[in-house]
Chains A and B, each alone.
Chain A
Amino acid sequence: MSWEEFWIILATCGATMLICRVAPLFLLKGRDLPDGVIRALNLIPPAAFAALVANDILTPGMFSQGIWPAAAIICASLIVVVVAVKTKSLIWCAVSGVASYAVLLLI
């Protein structure tokens, strides 16, 4: 990739990213928001985290080549769910997730 292409990508993607990151916060910051909007905002964390997890572990047609090793990522996720509920610790979830996924893929 040339420096010219690099600057074009940085300027455009950087600008759209900055707008997406900053504009909504400043549009809503300091305003008295109606209850409906507050309710919607409070639903963003569960919806967003579920979407991120689903995006990482679900692929349509993932079992077309057989259940294993495709199901390894689902099994590893279930292990992390148990760790999450028991420990509520991000680091233990990350460590147990990577370790169990690596071991499951060896099977």
Chain B
Amino acid sequence: MDFKAHMKDAFLAAYPIMLGYVAIGIPCGILCDSIGLGALQVFILSALFYSGAGQFMIPNMQLAGSPLASIIASVSLVNTRQMLYSASLAPECAHAGKLVSFFFAATVTDESYGVSIAKFKEGGWSVDRALMVNLFSQTSWALSNVAGVFVGSLLDIPLPIASFAMTSIFICLLFTQRLTAPNVIAAVAAVIGVYICKALGASGAAIIVGALLGVACALVAMRIAKGRRA
């Protein structure tokens, strides 16, 4: 059985995410503790909801006095970007079983999507390894959050610097994409879309709107280029 070998592959792919999740998971736990969430609640959230952005937004909005309905609406809106990852991973799961595909899909995050899609494009990757990447990452996230609840404010991690670890991972994933004209157009249009959304005060939808704008612009550009050649 190559279970052990796959697990090793998955761990080697996942450990940068795991370390990043320690850096932001502890501050997230500290923040959750500050609104009176206990270790058990933080663990349940990490196990069943598992969203970095969401688990920061819930306590921040609660502290700002937002009503429950607006917390739910804002968090759900931010997480709609997961639909793009899910769609993009579908062809890779074409021959995988339903159960493994379900658990894989249900545990994808921004970071683990990036690592998995890069590995799938490289070749020699499989859904079971990708699921293990997700589970390694989630374990690190859940334990770091619980640790954050326990250490409380004893530890002072400057969040802007710690969260730049995640930004750096996204930069790496972006600049290891193939340098084709459609990819560049997609990326530039996505940046512009995000900026416009934020300038209009729609920051909750910025990532999904920006990404969709990027895909749409690149498709249009490809069609125009094809029309010229024909």
B212: which A residues are within 8 A, CB to CB? 47
Task: Using CB atoms, name the residue of chain A closest to B84.
Answer: A44
Cα distance, A88 to B171, chains bound together (Å):
10
**In the complex, chain A residues whose CB is within 8 Å of the CB of B175:** 81, 84-85
Most buried by B among A6, A25, A30: A25
Tell me the bound Cα distance from A54 to B198 in angstroms.
Answer: 10
A42 to B117, CA, bound (A): 10
Does A97 lie within 8 Å of B167, measured CB to CB?
A: yes
Q: Which of A9, A25, A73, A102 contacts B71 (CB 8 A)?
A: A9
Within A19-63, the residues touching B (CB, 8 Å) are 20-30, 33, 36, 38-60
Please tell me if the beta carbons of A43 and B168 are within 8 angstroms of each other in the complex: no
Indicate which residue in B20, B85, B182 contacts A48 across the interface (CB closer than 8 Å).
B85
Q: Give every chain A residue within 8 A of B193 (Cβ-Cβ).
A: 51
Q: Verify B58–A33 contact, CB threshold 8 A.
A: no
Instruction: Count B-side interface residues using an 8 Å CB cutoff.
Output: 98
Query: Does B170 lie within 8 Å of A10, measured CB to CB?
Result: no
Q: Say if the beta carbon of B188 comes within 8 Å of chain A.
A: yes
Mask, B79-90, CB within 8 Å of A = 1, is: 111111111111
Are A53 and B82 in touch, CB under 8 angstroms? no
Nearest-neighbour CB distance to chain A for B78, whole angstroms, equals 10
Residue on A nearest B98 in the bound complex, by CB: A26
Q: B36: nearest residue on chain A (CB-CB)?
A: A1
Instruction: Identify 10 new A-B residue pairs, CB closer than 8 A, beyond the known A3-B41, A29-B93, A48-B85.
Output: A1-B37, A13-B72, A24-B83, A44-B215, A49-B114, A49-B170, A51-B194, A56-B163, A83-B172, A91-B19
What is B's interface to A at a CB cutoff of 8 Å?
A: 15-17, 19-20, 23, 35-37, 41, 44-45, 48-51, 54, 58-59, 62, 68, 71-72, 75-76, 79-91, 93-94, 101-102, 105-108, 110, 113-115, 117-118, 158, 160-177, 182-184, 186-191, 193-195, 198-199, 203, 206-208, 210-215, 218-219, 222
27 residue pairs from A and B, CB less than 8 Å apart: A1-B59, A8-B72, A9-B71, A13-B75, A25-B93, A26-B90, A28-B90, A41-B88, A43-B214, A43-B219, A44-B88, A44-B211, A47-B213, A50-B186, A51-B210, A53-B174, A58-B195, A60-B198, A73-B164, A80-B167, A84-B171, A84-B174, A84-B175, A91-B15, A93-B172, A94-B165, A94-B168
